[in-house]
Chains A and B, each alone.
Chain A
Amino acid sequence: MSFLRKKIDQIKRPFAKGEKWEKFAPAVNAFDTFLFVPNHTTQKGAHVRDAVDLKRTMVTVILALVPALIYGIYNTGYQYFIQTGEAFTFIDAFIHGAWKIVPMIIVSYAVGLTIEFIFAIYRGHEVNEGYLVTGLLIPMIMPVDIPLWMVGISTAFAVLIAKEAFGGTGMNILNPALTARAFAFFAYPTYMSGNKVWVSEASNVDAISGETILGSLAAGSDVSYSMLEMFQGSIPGSIAETSALWIGVGALILILTGVGSWRIIIGGILGASIMGFLFNLWGANALMSFNWMNHLVVGGFAFGIVFMATDPVSAAQTNKGKWIYGVLVGIFCILIRVFNPAYPEGVMLAILLMNVFAPTIDHYVVEANISKRKKRWANAQLKTA
């Protein structure tokens, strides 16, 4: 360990302050701090600090994403083989999925991290770890057959326009991963919607129907999947959004570690349940009469509310605000699903919409505290000079 440390210190020498390559220090530091927690000590403020840092937090989110990702990779192969009717093993399905998905992850990380490094060097700050999560989220919410160059362009758009244009990590209004998906959705609609994109090779092989449950509901046809299948996720859909079961495991990791806000997750589930239940009572069309419990497990709702809505930067920041934000995401998700058959996937638009309104929600929560204080001031008889 000390040998490695010495080597790194040697490599870093030309990047030190006042040296030739000083400007590029953030890039080298990013790699160094992945090996070692730096030897920095506290200079002002509290003399001791918690073990938690942004790297640890972001890696915890990645850990929470892994179950859904692995299931998503398997399900990609499973959907293909089950529809073509070929015999297959678990490993076959997994390899088929990995063959499609790993390149997407590589493209997303390569494009996004390149931009992040360039901006870190240009702005002279350290590389923020937020992209580690965004970079994994982007492929996980895409349809499996989207061309890699579209993944690359959507990623670049998201990082540049949704994040760096606002000042980088911590300053963005919209969730970058969802912005990437929204960009792809509106720029390349034929690759992002319809009934030919949701299962691997559906557009090439006629035997495969790539329709999602929400898509067929919107078209007014019946759903041929059982609730159990919907829950465990063996249904067509974006890569990692299908399995409510494994997303639930991720949610548990996020909530138990305190990294994801349970207020948003529970608020969202409440909002969606209430809305779904009300529509059940109304029941004017197939989407409305679709059981409210099924609404929670199909489509991107579960994935969105657990991994996208809880992004602390673009969500509401006050505790009360998080409840309101979560409930509204849930309500709007079902509302968009039911009333706008062109966009059966309501959760993406619901979260982006609430991202925009999150600062407004916080504003009113904070104003309530301020007016309470001002009222107290007005009522106090000044007892002192």
Chain B
Amino acid sequence: MSKDIQIHKGSNLNLEGEANKILVDLPAPKTFALNPDDFFNLTPKLVVKEGESVKKGAPLFFSKENPRIIFSSPVAGEVTSIVRGAKRKILQVLITSNESNEVVSHEVSNFESLDSDAVKEILLKSGSWPFIKQRPYNTIAQPEDSPKSIFISTYATAPLDVDYDFLLKNNKDDFQRGIQVLKKLTTGDVNLSIDSSFKGFFEKIEDVNLIGVSGAHPAGNVGVQIHKTDPINYGERVWVVNPEDVVNIGILFSTGEFSAQRTLAVVGSSVEKPQYYKATIGACLKPYLEASNLDDKEEFRVINGDVLSGSKTSADGYAGFYNNLISVIPEGNHYRMFGWLPFVDNHVPSISKTSLSWLFGSKKATVTTNLNGEERALVVTGEMEKVFPMDIFPMQLIKACLVEDIERMEALGIYEVVPEDFGLIDYASTSKIEAQDIIKKGIELMIKEVG
């Protein structure tokens, strides 16, 4: 074990509806969908038409900027429809599974002897490349780059986040194999961050640089961990992979087939039985929500990801490409009389001391999507710094993004952050500013102007 990281700033939201450690295997759903918006800054180019049959692992679309990066079908079946939005933007590629085992195979025997380029080629051809993302920007990694290091975070701190030790308990060998594959892609370290108080099986993983992490959210964000161990400098690239995608890569190099395994945890106060499910990327969420006893008496919101930085979907929606979490919380579209008075409505969780909710420390809170106020000018200072553990001035960076001052964004550290690092800032903001959205637009500007 190398250096440990302790994070002192931040906050864990103690919410109702954490997943019980039960892994349920439901019959696979019929429909699946791939949503190009899951991939930041991607322009997809379709290779399939409506009505076409595809095998599992066959390409559906590729990246316009880099045609080597393809996106594969998670199941065998038929492309039933391609949903388009304004300006013919592709919103969803829908596939109806035919429950066959037709699958595209790749030659992967004795991968230990392959070099970096050969490994990349297999990852690209199989459609597994999108599992690897890069920092800065959180876009899909460029296969031409060779990263300074690779980071995998198994320390999950987002509200109601999964327990990777439990989630991957059946995939220990695949995880180890995935690590060995990733090791070939970098001249630097493959860093595996683990909970420094509970290590689980990850401690026994070989060929990695283990980093123990402790502290409140956003300590689990891989960006925070990179910042604390080896911050990104101008022009450098660091690659990040989610733990279950390490497993998917491991499975690819043992079976030769694209693996789209995605264990989903349905969590939140709107489900009675929050638990884990064996599922697949892009799976229709309905059966999983039903199996969790969704409480649909009042309006609810289904979120792909955690409640701070996930993306909104619906009960008829589909699992995202990257997220293990499906959060379901009640909509907050109701009024609260005199709810703005300090020290009233203490059931609404708050990390500000203008509420007495901190007195209920260990009690789990139920949150809704109510904004709890209205958007206002930026008045209060110092609240962002309390939940932002990086050596970066968050408010100054947000302001630089707002005025699109590229030089200043660069100087203030835009390369070291991604929107999810600002999730708690969104949450804690007195003025209800949309920090994640501002940072996202700032990063889009950086990609356009600097690249």
Q: CB distance A37 to B373 under 8 Å? A: yes
Q: Which of B104-112, B275-283, B428-436 participates in binding chain A?
A: B428-436
CB contacts (< 8 Å) of B342 on chain A: these are: 56, 59-60, 63, 257
Q: Does B316 contact A (CB under 8 A)?
A: no
Known: A53-B340, A376-B231, A384-B148. A47 touches B329 (CB 8 A): yes
B226 within 8 A of partner (CB): no
A57 to B351, CA, bound (A): 13
- Chain A window 127-139, contacts with chain B (Cβ cutoff 8 Å), 1 for yes, 0 for no: 0111000000000
What separation, in Å, do the CA atoms of A60 and B393 have in the docked complex? 26
Q: Are B187 and A383 in contact (CB under 8 A)?
A: yes
Q: Does A54 contact B (CB under 8 A)?
A: yes
Contact of A41 among B370, B377, B429 (CB under 8 A): B370
Given the known A-B contacts A1-B337, A52-B355, A57-B379, are A39 and B350 also in contact in the complex, defined by CB atoms under 8 Å? no
Could you say which residues of chain A place their CB within 8 Å of the CB of B303?
47
Chain B CB within 8 A of A83 CB: no
A377 touches B385 (CB 8 A): no
What's the Cα separation between A385 and B235 when bound, in Å? 7
B373, A36: Cβ atoms closer than 8 Å: no
- Asked whether B357 is an interface residue with its Cβ less than 8 Å from the other chain, the reply is yes
- Find out whether the CB atom of A50 lies under 8 angstroms from the CB atom of B338: no
Residues of A within 8 A of B428 (CB): 50, 52
Q: Which of A37, A369, A383 has the most CB of B within 10 A?
A: A37
- B335-356 Cβ-contact flags toward A at 8 Å (1 or 0): 1111111100100111111110
The reply to whether A59 and B340 contact each other, CB–CB distance below 8 Å, is yes
Nearest chain B residue, comparing its CB with the CB of A167: B377
Q: Indicate if the CB atoms of A170 and B378 lie closer than 8 Å.
A: yes
- Please tell me if the beta carbons of B348 and A39 are within 8 angstroms of each other in the complex: no
- In the complex formed, the residue of A with least CB distance to B413 is A373
Asked if B177 is at the interface of the complex by the 8 Å CB criterion, the answer is no
**Shortest Cβ distance from A358 into chain B, in angstroms?**
10
Q: A312-B382, A377-B233 are in contact. Are A59 and B341 (CB under 8 A)?
A: yes
The segment from A92-100, A191-199, A221-229, A316-324 that touches chain B is A316-324
Chain B neighbourhood of A45, CB < 8 A: 423, 426, 434-437
Contact B308 A318 (CB under 8 A): no
Interface residues on B, range: 35 or more
B359, chain A: closest CB distance, angstroms: 13
Q: Which of A47, A49, A56 has the most CB of B within 10 A?
A: A47
Interface residues of A in 317-358 (CB under 8 A from B): 317-319, 322
A5 to B335, CA, bound (A): 8
Pairwise interchain contact A380-B430, C-beta atoms closer than 8 A: no
B393 and A369: CB pair below 8 A? Answer: yes
Cα distance A56–B341 in the bound complex, in angstroms: 5
Of all chain B residues, which has the CB nearest A385? B145
- Decide: A126 near B374, CB < 8 A? Known: A318-B393, A366-B393, A369-B391: yes
Using CB atoms, name the residue of chain B closest to A62.
B342
Give the interface centre of B327, B369, B435 by most chain A CB atoms within 10 Å.
B369
A53 CA to B383 CA, complexed, in Å: 12
Q: Which residues of the other chain, B, contact A37 by a CB distance below 8 angstroms?
A: 335-337, 339-340, 345, 370, 372-373
What separation, in Å, do the CA atoms of A168 and B349 have in the docked complex? Answer: 30
What interface size band does chain A fall in? Answer: 35 or more
B14 contacts partner chain A, Cβ-Cβ < 8 Å: no
Residues of chain B lying within 8 A (CB to CB) of residue A256: 353
Q: Which residue of A lies closest to B386 (CB)?
A: A258
In the complex, whether B307 has a CB less than 8 A from a CB of chain A is yes
Q: Within 8 Å of chain B (Cβ to Cβ): is A187?
A: no
A373 pairs with B335, CB closer than 8 A: no
Measured in the bound complex, the distance between the Cα atoms of B337 and A286 in whole Å is: 56
The interface centre, meaning the residue of B335, B372, B423 with most chain A CB atoms within 10 A of its CB, is B335
Most buried by B among A59, A370, A383: A383
Q: Would you give the shortest CB distance from A172 to chain B, in whole angstroms?
A: 10
The residues of A that contact B396 with a CB separation of less than 8 Å are 366
B163 at the interface (CB under 8 A from A): no
In this assembly, does B179 line the interface, its C-beta being within 8 Å of a C-beta of chain A?
A: no
Whether the pair A130, B379 counts as a contact (CB closer than 8 A) is yes
Chain A: minimal CB distance from B367 (Å):
4
In the complex with contacts A47-B310, A380-B236, A384-B146, A168-B377 CB distance below 8 A = yes
Measured CB to CB, the nearest residue on chain B to A53 is B373
Q: Is B333 an interface residue (CB 8 A)?
A: yes
Looking at chain A's contact residues, the main secondary structure is loop
Rounded to whole angstroms, the CA-CA distance of A234 and B341 in the bound complex is 32
Residues of B within 8 A of A82 (CB): none
CB-based contact B376/A51 at 8 Å: no
Most buried by B among A36, A46, A373: A46
CB within 8 Å of B: which A165-222 residues: 168-171
Docked Cα-Cα span, A126 to B350, in Å, equals 24
Contacts of A10 in B (CB 8 A): none
Does A374 have its Cβ within 8 Å of any Cβ on chain B?
Answer: yes
B307 and A126 within 8 A (CB):
no
Residues of B within 8 A of A57 (CB): 354, 379-380, 430
- Encoded as 1 (CB less than 8 Å from any A CB) or 0, chain B from 376 to 420 comes to 111111110100000111011000000000000001110000000
Which of B312, B349, B434 is close to A51, meaning CB atoms less than 8 Å apart? Answer: B349
* Contact A52–B350 (Cβ < 8 Å): yes
CA distance A260 to B187 in the complex (A): 49
Structural contact, B377 and A128, CB atoms closer than 8 A: yes
For window 143-165 of B, CB contacts with A under 8 Å fall at 144-148, 159
A169 to B159, CA, bound (A): 33
Contacts A46-B427, A50-B349; is A36 near B336 (CB within 8 Å)? Answer: yes
> Is there an interface contact between B235 and A384, defined as CB atoms closer than 8 Å?
yes
Q: B188 in the interface, Cβ–Cβ < 8 Å?
A: yes
> Which residues on the A side are within 8 Å of B337 (C-beta)?
1, 4, 35-37
In the complex, the answer to whether A51 meets B380 with C-beta atoms within 8 Å is no
Bound-complex Cα distance A126 to B91 (A) = 35
- How far is it, in angstroms, between the C-alpha of A375 and the C-alpha of B426 when the chains are bound? 31
B residues near A53, Cβ cutoff 8 Å: 340, 372-374, 376, 430-432
Q: List 19 A-B contacts (CB under 8 A).
A: A38-B335, A39-B334, A42-B370, A48-B308, A49-B432, A53-B372, A54-B373, A54-B380, A54-B431, A56-B340, A56-B352, A63-B342, A168-B377, A261-B382, A312-B379, A372-B391, A382-B236, A384-B146, A384-B235
- The 10 closest A-B CB pairs, nearest first, are A53-B373, A170-B377, A37-B339, A46-B426, A52-B352, A51-B348, A55-B340, A51-B350, A36-B335, A45-B434
- Chain B residues close to A by CB (< 8 Å): 13, 144-148, 159, 187-188, 231, 233-237, 301, 303, 307-310, 312, 327, 329, 331-342, 345, 348-355, 357, 367-383, 385, 391-393, 395-396, 411-413, 423-424, 426-432, 434-437
Q: A56-B340, A259-B380 are in contact. List 10 more A-B contacts (CB 8 A).
A: A37-B336, A37-B339, A50-B430, A56-B355, A57-B380, A169-B377, A170-B378, A258-B353, A382-B235, A384-B235
